[in-house]
């Protein structure tokens, strides 16, 4: 049952978490965030906050330009392997956005937005798709593009050089090798300002100017090589990241970029019957799609639907799931094969189930099928999802870090799952108000007018916007108030869904 990923993706094997090298592992952090939400486990809650802060302050994060390197070569997040991957940054945009929803710490929102700006600046194509990666090396040296010597710092920052050197530990903890320094920090701007006897707003102005100067200087250097192919799966992750960031920021540029990305993928990498291509390069789609392409693009489309209520995205996600069942599903094991039935036969066809630096394609597909099954009332989708979960349950209990995304899917089944249906002229505005908070157990549907989708049947009230909160076949009394609707699905999960319900 246990197999490998396609050539373009990270290796799929049981995850170990050593001291070094140290990967960000957003799959694990996302599971722990959900776990703390559902259980109220404070130590887990605190662990997630600490990890996200340490990553954001470390050298693994590009302090000047935003975005995360692939991993840290040490155990303290200081010295990165400077390669930047789209799949890492896409997932971390989602993770930091969710952390901001959950905890309200503005650091997380800043990191998500700075990472998006890095992707827009260095990994976005004019067509609306996103490139795959940036090399670690430039001019034959790893990290040369990103690191600094003290004399260069002094020259470009002038009177503020000493202050900014202290903030980023240039010449101290930031020293790396050959006189070069990696930017890192240990304090927030507010904490550092207090330590230096400065007003926070004054220091933030200085810091903003210094970062702009550093970026301008860095832009004159030889850039690391760009892998300029588009991968459907990794673009699907970035699509989801843009939607998650839009939820917390409300910035239209993120939504517009997401819609442009979806438009490109659906137009150039998807055929009318739901078949996907894996790769697009130099104006041509190639390589028959792997399972990861179907599940990650479907997850991106489901996210885009929830912030636009454009039913086309929902229908495309269902088409992808249906195609995957027809061409990838293994009836014997209950899992999905890595490759399509249209691909040349292999000596041994594999199922990819281990969650690693990206979720396993089967765990992602289990989530997709459950969500689509709930929205479209397709019991066959839900049954396949539940069979998949049952098949890995024992593995997950023995090796939880290797099944973290499965764990997130399982949490969604262990606790009540809610469908929030919003109808009427203000459906998007009221959905946006509720989606600013962290609700991993909720799927939002909306329509201004009549719809053929079953979830909207008999729920359109002329000239009024109404909110219906349902779990399974039970629905709360409808309300026009987002804050009242939120009370329905923000109460203790252990109490069940029994009070104030209408059948």
Taking 90 as the threshold, does the pLDDT of residue 218 lie above it? Answer: yes
pLDDT, average across residues 368-393 = 96
Cis amide linkage into residue 238, ω under 30° from 0? no
What's the N-to-C CA distance of the chain in angstroms?
42
Statement: residue 3 has pLDDT above 80: no
> CA-to-CA distance for 355 and 31, rounded, in angstroms?
11
pLDDT in tens, 313-364: 999 999 999 999 999 999 999 999 999 999 887 767 889 999 999 999 999 9
Give the DSSP letter of residue 416.
-
- Paired with 138 in beta bridges are 141
Q: Which 3-state string (H, E, C) describes 201-245?
A: HHHHHHHHHHHHHHHHHHCCCCCCCEECCEEHHHHHHHHHHHHHH
- The DSSP result for 302-324, as a single string, is HHHHHHH--HHHHHHHHHHHHHH
Q: How far apart are CA 432 and CA 92, in angstroms?
A: 21
Mean pLDDT score, 52-59: 98
Lowest mean pLDDT: which of 245-254, 369-378, 447-456?
447-456
The mean pLDDT of 468-482, rounded to a whole number, is 92
The whole-number pLDDT of residue 339 equals 95
pLDDT single digits (tens) 260-292: 999 999 999 999 999 999 999 999 999 999 999
**486 touches 474 (CB < 8 A):** no
Nearest one of 145, 151, 143 to 73, comparing CA atoms:
143
Rounded alpha-carbon distances, angstroms, from residue 415 to 61, 139, 492:
34, 53, 10
Q: What is the DSSP letter of 437?
A: S
Find out whether 77 and 60 touch, Cβ atoms under 8 Å.
yes
410 three-state secondary structure? helix
Place of tokens 């956005």: 97
Q: What percent of the chain is predicted at pLDDT more than 70?
A: 94
**Alpha-carbon gap, residue 103 to 53, rounded angstroms:** 12
pLDDT score recorded for residue 491: 57
Instruction: Read off the pLDDT of each residue in 220-232 and give the average, rounded to a whole number.
Output: 97
- 18 pLDDT tier (thresholds 50, 70, 90): low
The pLDDT score that the predictor gives to residue 344 is: 84
Average pLDDT, the chain: 92
Res 335: pLDDT? 97
Return d(Cα 243, Cα 259) in angstroms, integer. Answer: 9
Interval 451-475 mean pLDDT = 91
Tens-digit pLDDT profile for residues 414-446: 999 999 999 999 999 999 999 999 999 999 999
Using the predicted structure, report yes or no on whether residue 232 has a pLDDT greater than 80: yes
CB 446 within 8 A of CB 421: yes
Give CA separation, 259 vs 92, 263, 273, 487, in Å.
Answer: 20, 6, 21, 31
Rounded Cα gap, residues 403 and 294, in angstroms: 20
The pairing of beta strand 418-423 with beta strand 442-447? parallel
Domain boundaries, the chain: 22-139+226-414, 146-218, 418-502
Lowest mean pLDDT among 121-135, 289-303, 336-350: 336-350
Q: How confident is the model at residue 30 (pLDDT cuts 50, 70, 90)?
A: very high
Contact 317, 368 (CB under 8 A): yes
For 63-79, what is the mean pLDDT?
96
Whether residue 495 is predicted with pLDDT greater than 90 in this model: the reply is no
Instruction: Tell me what the mean pLDDT of segment 237-258 comes to.
Output: 98
Strand ranges, E, within 368-472: 418-423, 442-447, 466-471
Q: Which fold has domain 22-139+226-414?
A: Glycosyltransferase (1.50.10)
DSSP string, 59-85: TTB-TTT--B-SEESSTTS-SEE--EE
| Arithmetic mean of pLDDT, 161-183 | 95
């Amino acid at each position: 049952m246990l197999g490998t990923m396609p050539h373009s993706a990270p290796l799929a094997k049981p995850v170990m978490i050593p001291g070094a090298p140290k990967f960000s592992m957003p799959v694990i952090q996302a599971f722990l965030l959900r776990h703390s939400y559902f259980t109220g486990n404070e130590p887990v809650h605190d662990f997630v906050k600490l990890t996200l802060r340490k990553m954001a302050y470390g050298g693994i994060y590009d302090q000047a330009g935003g975005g995360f390197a692939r991993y840290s070569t040490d155990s303290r997040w200081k010295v990165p392997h400077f390669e930047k991957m789209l799949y890492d940054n896409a997932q971390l945009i989602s993770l930091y956005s969710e952390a901001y929803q959950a905890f309200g710490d503005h650091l997380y929102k800043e990191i998500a937005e700075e990472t998006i700006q890095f992707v827009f600046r260095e990994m976005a194509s004019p067509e609306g798709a996103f490139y795959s990666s940036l090399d670690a090396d430039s001019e034959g040296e790893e990290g040369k593009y990103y690191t600094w010597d003290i004399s260069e710092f002094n020259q470009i920052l002038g009177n503020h050089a000493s202050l900014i050197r202290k903030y980023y530990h240039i010449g101290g903890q930031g020293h790396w090798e050959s006189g070069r320094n990696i930017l890192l920090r240990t304090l927030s701007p507010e904490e550092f300002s207090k330590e230096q006897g400065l007003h926070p707003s004054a220091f933030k102005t200085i810091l903003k100017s210094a970062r702009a100067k550093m970026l301008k200087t860095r832009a004159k250097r030889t850039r690391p090589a760009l892998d300029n192919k588009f991968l459907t799966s990794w673009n699907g992750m970035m699509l989801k990241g843009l939607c998650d960031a839009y939820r917390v920021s409300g910035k239209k540029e993120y939504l517009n970029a997401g819609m442009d990305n979806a438009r490109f993928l659906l137009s150039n990498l998807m055929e009318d019957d739901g078949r996907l291509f894996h790769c697009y390069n130099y104006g041509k789609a190639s390589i028959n799609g792997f399972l990861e392409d179907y599940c990650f693009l479907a997850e991106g489309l489901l996210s885009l639907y929830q912030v636009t209520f454009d039913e086309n995205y929902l229908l495309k996600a269902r088409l992808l799931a249906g195609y995957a069942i027809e061409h990838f599903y293994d009836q014997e094991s209950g899992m999905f094969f890595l490759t399509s039935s249209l691909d040349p036969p292999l000596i041994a066809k594999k199922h990819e189930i281990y969650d690693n630096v990206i979720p396993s394609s089967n765990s992602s597909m289990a989530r997709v099928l459950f969500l689509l099954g709930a929205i479209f009332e397709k019991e066959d989708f839900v049954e396949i999802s539940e069979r998949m979960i049952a098949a890995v349950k024992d593995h997950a209990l023995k090796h939880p870090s290797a099944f973290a995304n499965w764990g997130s899917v399982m949490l969604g089944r262990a606790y009540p799952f809610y469908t929030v249906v919003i109808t009427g002229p203000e459906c998007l505005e009221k959905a946006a108000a509720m989606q600013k908070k962290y609700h991993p157990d909720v799927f939002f549907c909306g329509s201004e007018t009549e719809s053929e989708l079953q979830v909207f049947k008999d729920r359109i009230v002329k000239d009024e916007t109404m909110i219906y909160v349902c779990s399974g076949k039970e629905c709360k009394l409808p309300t026009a108030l987002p804050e009242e609707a939120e009370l329905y699905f923000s109460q203790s999960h252990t109490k069940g869904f029994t009070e104030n319900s209408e059948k």
